[in-house]
């Protein structure tokens, strides 16, 4: 299970990365499995139906660290929205534009999680997935951000084999250009929650001051003032995740939601 500090990290960054969590034998197996392709399933298919017992994908999502993170973020029995094997071809000469996946989405208090699994070591020239930390709560629609070429603080994934990244569905991201001679594989699964996303993680450290520190993290591409709205959005999401309607950072939301109804006359 994730801790509250890790959840706060996810709420601030829009992602959580776990390096080399998938064992070597599975990574070796994955290259063949992903090259052959994993057939699509209908939207909303429960995990046991989408991935039969013993299948590669089922074993992947049942690895204890992966299962614990999913359970913490989307809860038990999520359904598969869709999945896809994403390949960046060797020296293919182009990158994907920056985008959010399938978003025309206005939910402030619930989110889908996208798992991205990399079976190989991904080096800087292999077209790792670029993402923009802290972009997930800033509403844009699909590829409307595609005109942005580079943002300060963006990360281009470089990782050891077996790395899994969990992403909020709103994160701005895109596959980069593969300048290497190797095919780059990534397997993505989007999960839809089927329960309220509230207190699903290991909450023992809920009052740890590191939670508020994580939630207030700034990113270099943010504007001076609008950046504060991102913190505001995170307060809203943290309230939904914890059920604590009085949670605040520096009194911001308490002040701006103050609409007294008591009449003085
Ligand atoms: O290949 C990648 O690294 C990202 C792929 C992706 O984001 C997509 O196709 O939606
Ligand atoms: Fe994408």
The pLDDT value given to residue 122 = 98
Asked, for residue 32, whether it belongs to a domain, the answer is yes
Nearest CA to ligand 1 atom 9: 86
The pLDDT value given to residue 204 = 98
Structure tokens at 49: 């139906």
Residue 81 CB less than 6 A away from ligand 1? no
Q: Which residues contact 106 (CB under 8 A, 6 or more apart)?
A: 139
Asked, for residue 197, whether it belongs to a domain, the answer is no
Domain count, the chain: 1
Q: Pick the atom of ligand 1 nearest to 84's CA.
A: 9
Torsion of CA 155, 159, 162, 164, to 10 degrees: -20
Asked, for residue 174, whether it belongs to a domain, the answer is yes
Return the H-helix or E-strand segment holding 231.
helix 226-242
Q: Pick the atom of ligand 1 nearest to 101's CA.
A: 10
Question: What is the CA(245)–ligand 1 centre distance, in A?
Answer: 36
Asked, for residue 146, whether it belongs to a domain, the answer is yes
pTM for this structure?
Answer: 0.96
Residue 234 CB less than 6 A away from ligand 1? no
Asked, for residue 44, whether it belongs to a domain, the answer is yes
Question: Over the Cα atoms of the chain, what is R_g?
Answer: 19
Question: What is the CA(130)–ligand 2 centre distance, in A?
Answer: 10
How far is CA 28 from each of CA 25, 62, 68, 89, 165, rounded to the nearest angstrom?
5, 18, 23, 19, 19
pLDDT along the chain (265 residues), means of 10: 98 98 98 96 97 97 98 98 97 93 81 98 96 94 90 96 97 96 97 98 98 97 91 96 96 92 95
The pLDDT value given to residue 140 = 85
| pLDDT per position as a tens digit, 108-117 | 889 999 999 9
The pLDDT value given to residue 147 = 92
The pLDDT value given to residue 173 = 97
Asked, for residue 253, whether it belongs to a domain, the answer is no
Residue 167 CB less than 6 A away from ligand 1? no
The domain that holds 133 is classified in CATH as 2.60.120.620
Range of the domain at 27: 4-192
Count Cα atoms within 13 angstroms, Cβ side, for 225: 0
β-strands 45-46, 15-18: how paired? unpaired
Pocket test for ligand 1, best of 116, 159, 186 (most atoms within 8 A of CB): 186
Residue 129 CB less than 6 A away from ligand 1? yes
Residue 175 CB less than 6 A away from ligand 1? yes
The pLDDT value given to residue 190 = 98
The pLDDT value given to residue 108 = 82
Number of H helices, E strands in the chain: 8, 9
The pLDDT value given to residue 73 = 98
The pLDDT value given to residue 210 = 98
């Amino acid at each position: 299970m994730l801790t509250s500090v890790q959840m706060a990290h996810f709420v601030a960054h829009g992602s959580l990365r776990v390096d080399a969590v998938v064992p070597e034998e599975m990574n070796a197996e994955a290259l063949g499995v992903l090259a052959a392709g994993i057939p699509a399933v209908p939207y909303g298919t429960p995990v046991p139906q989408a991935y039969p017992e013993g299948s590669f994908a089922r074993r992947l999502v049942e690895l204890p660290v992966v299962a614990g993170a999913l359970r913490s973020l989307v809860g038990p029995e999520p359904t598969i929205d869709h999945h896809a094997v994403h390949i960046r071809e060797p020296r293919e000469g182009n990158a994907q534009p920056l985008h959010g996946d399938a978003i025309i989405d206005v939910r402030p208090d619930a989110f889908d999680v996208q798992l991205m699994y990399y079976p190989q070591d991904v080096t800087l020239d292999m077209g790792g997935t670029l993402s923009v930390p802290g972009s997930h709560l800033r509403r844009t629609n699909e590829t409307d951000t595609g005109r942005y070429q580079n943002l300060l603080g963006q990360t281009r994934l470089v990782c050891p084999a077996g790395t899994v990244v969990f992403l909020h569905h709103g994160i701005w991201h895109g596959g980069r250009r593969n300048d290497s001679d190797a095919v780059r594989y990534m397997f993505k699964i989007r999960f839809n929650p089927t329960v309220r996303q509230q207190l699903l993680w290991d909450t023992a450290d809920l009052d740890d001051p590191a939670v508020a520190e994580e939630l207030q993290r700034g990113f270099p591409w943010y504007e001076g003032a609008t950046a504060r709205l991102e913190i505001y959005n995170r307060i809203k999401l943290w309230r939904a995740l914890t059920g604590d309607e009085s949670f605040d950072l520096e009194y911001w939301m308490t002040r701006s939601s103050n609409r007294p109804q008591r009449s003085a006359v």
